[in-house]
Amino acid sequence: MDLNSVLASLQEMDKKSKKRNFLEQIELIINLSGLDPKKPDGQVDLKIDLPYSTGRGEGKALLFARSDSFAATMKEDFETIIMEDKISSLKKQDIQKILQHDVLLAEGPAMIAVGKYLGQELAPKGKMPKPVTTNPAEVRSELEKLKSSVRITNRRGKGIPIIQVVVGNDSMEREKIAKNILKICEEVEKVLPRKKQNIKSIIVKKTMGPAIKISGGK
């Protein structure tokens, strides 16, 4: 599988997909074979920094903060800011809203309260925030970096032989999406015990569009 074969599949996806009145996401599906996802060597759980942001994290960032001045400085950069002294009183519905964010950061000292009161909910879902300093420039840089990170896993529930992840949206340049796809496939293949032989097929699709097998995939 190379850049040209992925681009050809994306073009076929565009041709066969109906125009929608909303911005569709582009999804990558990797069907695995010869693995038992209930066993450790059959599980994939990676965090990958993609070449390009998928657009999914735009405007969906959350910050846990201790300092009022730091929170005030960062208010334009985060959709939600939760102060440290409010963490212990968060309800179930509040935690569900937290889980809807794509990027979570926390001012270093606030991590203790996050771990104590939210760790059991956030950690199993790979949503523990990354600690940051109170330097606004460093936080903004980290924020942009994390927006291009994705978690790749087949460990949901009891384990499934499928990896499904958003690699972009319909407004993105197809070459950028193709490079995101290649990066994911490369990193997944590295951790599979039998490499390419553990990949049954690779598919790309829009949210409501047909599944298109990527030529050059197994």
Residue with tokens 């937290």: 98
Q: For residue range 69-94, what is the model confidence (pLDDT) as tens digits?
A: 999 999 999 999 999 999 999 999 99
Predicted pLDDT of residue 211: 96
pTM above 0.95, yes or no: no
Residue 216 CA to residue 57 CA, distance in Å, equals 30
Could you tell me the end-to-end alpha-carbon distance of the chain, in angstroms, rounded to an integer?
Answer: 9
Domains, the chain:
3-55+150-213 (3.30.190.20), 61-146 (3.40.50.790)
Predicted pLDDT of residue 197: 93
Predicted pLDDT of residue 157: 58
Please report, in tens digits, the pLDDT of each residue of the chain (218 residues total). 899 999 999 999 999 999 898 989 999 999 999 988 788 888 888 888 899 888 765 557 999 999 999 999 999 999 999 999 999 999 999 999 998 887 899 999 999 999 999 999 998 877 899 999 999 999 998 887 777 778 888 876 566 789 999 999 999 999 999 999 999 999 999 999 999 999 999 999 999 999 999 965 54
Predicted pLDDT of residue 208: 93
Inter-residue long-range contacts of 67-72, CB under 8 Å, 24+ positions, other chains counted: 67/107, 67/134, 70/107, 70/134
